[in-house]
Amino acid sequence: MKLLVINGSTREKGNSEFLTNVLLHDIPHSTLFLRDYQINPIKDQRHAANGFDPVDDDYERVIKQVLEHDILLFATPLYWYGMSGLMKNFVDRWSQCLRDKTMDFRSEMAKKQAFVVIVGGDRIHIKALPLVQQFQYIFDFMDMSMIGYLIGQGTKPEEVQNDRRALENAVTWNKKIRELL
Q: Is there a contact between 17 and 75 (Cβ–Cβ < 8 Å)?
A: yes
Interacting residue with a copy of itself among 37, 138, 144, 161 (CB under 8 A)? 138
Looking at beta carbons only, is 2 or 180 nearer to a copy of itself? 180
CB of 142 to a copy of itself, least distance (A): 10
Q: What is the DSSP letter of 82?
A: B
Looking at beta carbons only, is 2 or 171 nearer to a copy of itself? 171
CB of 140 to a copy of itself, least distance (A): 9
Looking at beta carbons only, is 2 or 142 nearer to a copy of itself? 142
Amino acid at 93: R
CB of 74 to a copy of itself, least distance (A): 12
Picking from 162, 148, 91, the residue whose alpha carbon sits closest to that of residue 117 is 148
Q: Does 149 bind a copy of itself (CB under 8 A)?
A: yes
Q: Does 64 bind a copy of itself (CB under 8 A)?
A: no
Q: Is there a contact between 2 and 147 (Cβ–Cβ < 8 Å)?
A: no
Is residue 51 left, alpha or beta, with left meaning phi > 0 and alpha meaning psi from -120 to 50?
left
Looking at beta carbons only, is 2 or 176 nearer to a copy of itself? 176
Instruction: List the Cα angle 167/170/175 in 5-degree steps.
Output: 140
Is residue 72 left, alpha or beta, with left meaning phi > 0 and alpha meaning psi from -120 to 50?
beta
The residues that bridge with 14 in the sheet, in sequence order, are none
* Binding interface with a copy of itself (CB under 8 A): 9-11, 14, 35, 41-45, 47, 77, 79-86, 88-89, 91-92, 94-95, 122, 125-127, 129-134, 136-138, 141, 146, 148-149, 156-157, 164-165, 168-169, 172-173, 175-176
